[in-house]
Structure 1
Amino acid sequence: MPAIPRLLRAILLGAAAVAVLAPATAASADPSPSDVQQQIDQSSSALEKIVEQYNGVGEKLKATQAAADDLNAKMAPLQSQLDTAYASVGQIAATAYKGGAAKPMALLLSDGSPESLLGQLTSLNHLASVEQRQIQGYAQAKTQYDEQKKKLDDLLNQQRADQKSLADQKAKIEGDVANLMALRKRLLGSATATPPAKVAAPNIAGSAGAAVRFAYGVIGKPYVYAAAGPNGYDCSGLTMAAWRAAGRSLPHNAEMQWNQVAHISSGQLQPGDLVFYSGLGHVAIYVGNGQVIHAPQPGDYVKLASVNMMPPYGYGRVR
């Protein structure tokens, strides 16, 4: 009997311990708003790198597909020529072998000239040899095209696999960001930042002025992954769209843009130049007065910021 009170006492003591710990655990369940924002910033930075890689693979995939389409377009007439040449040789063979013995005799009897018959046979052989050389040339060219096509098909398959892998990573991080946004809304009342007010663009001449005016015109548009307008932008999508408005073509990827522009120093910065950040994971357009316009991260909007909002990786001028 004495064992029962000891057991009850242990149960009661355990329950009391849980009761003491529970409020402290509940109190620490919600991080502070600043902690949530820090987590959003970190997750967004990781996601932006994945998105930029995704954009880069997409650009390479477009180029490879264009090369494959061009190769297929060139192969179509080659295949037609090859088929025609084979058909021609087949017709020659049929002429030579199907009733071929009677035709030379008829020519000899009608013309009475062995030289004429010899000329006919020589022309027939010459025509066949010409067709044969054509077939050899076409076949060699087709073999080369087939080799190129296999390389392109292998590259397409690899790039599509890379794209899917990045899309899976992107979906995972997007889910993390969505959870953080929901927590931010619960703590701060809104999942998104306050949209910035429109700002008048400065008067800048030339193509750089056209790019800068475009960037000012989309201030307040939301950040959207892998988007280049008109309803939203990611970082390289914004700079690509701005310079497209100025008649210049840039790829939808920060690293590819870096590889295409002329590299300059910070002292040479002029409106329209691009500023790269975060190990080529982010890019913005310089608009003068120490400011850039960029598409920052999920839940935010295209906006003005200091050119030194984070340490720049480098600076580039669109050529």
Structure 2
Amino acid sequence: MRTRVLSACIALILLCLSKVNGQLNSTYYDSTCPSLLSTVKAAVTAAVAKEKRMGASLVRLHFHDCFVNGCDGSVLLDDSSTITGEKTAGPNNNSLRGFDVVDTIKSKVEAVCSGVVSCADILAIAARDSVIALGGRTWTVQLGRRDSLTASLSGANSKIPAPTLNLSGLISAFTAQGLSAKDMIVLSGAHTIGQARCTTFRSHIYNETNILSSFATSLKANCPFSSGDDNLSPLDLQTPTTFDNKYYINLKSQKGLLHSDQELFNGGSADSQVTTYSNNQATFFSDFATSMVKMGNINPLTGSSGEVRTNCRKPN
């Protein structure tokens, strides 16, 4: 009995130390908001059931948040008299979406545990639940992030990888965030869901040769040479609303929608990993889960840094 009591005390001390020292952990809200995970899952499931594309949009929100000064909820901040937000940055403007869904999730979380859960943590949980809702596998989300008090428009313009990057540029962009080339290749697999605007892939289908000609031709009707910038095409033409490994199968057939997609299978160092994922969906799912946890740990605010916003769109 004494041994069990001692073990429990040690576990509690370690948990408290982890919160003080800024380490994320999966049990962060177990006592302060025990219904958090079920609350977020229900809201995400409802949003994705209403619009399948929303799952990809929520995953992308988490990604674009983490790549700008860490996973701190800065991407959610609206412009104000004192803040220039990230929503109008080139990679985000007229493209990033799902903010209303995050507002809904936040309001539901606030209803069950007010002032406790950060918007940054909600993004991390919602990304995981979106993948599950579209057929992917689960992973354990690490929690304990706090929200930033400001945003970085310049960071959003410079740090989020562009669809025009070549393989070395993609590797460099991810390396700058502490992520490996392997992380980059597997996280790119999130493009097995979602859609892209014509303006992001027009040059790829009209001016480049590393794309199947018949595939390029099929895209031109919806993406004219000089108009239709906001017209959408699925990143994965086969199963655009199912989280699977078809993205990699498409790359092997030169059916990557974006230039940056096809760079992963273009006679370079990424070819082998793409082949592995195209042949083994379970390996892709496992590696994706690992890399999502790693990405979610990019420079989080913890402890007394930042705050827990009551409204994700503005500081308290």
Same fold (TM over 0.5): no
Q: By percentage of residues, which structure has more helix? A: 1
- TM-score of the aligned structures, taking structure 1 as reference length: 0.24
Q: Which has the larger radius of gyration?
A: 1
Q: Which has the higher strand share?
A: 1
Q: TM-score, normalised by structure 2?
A: 0.25
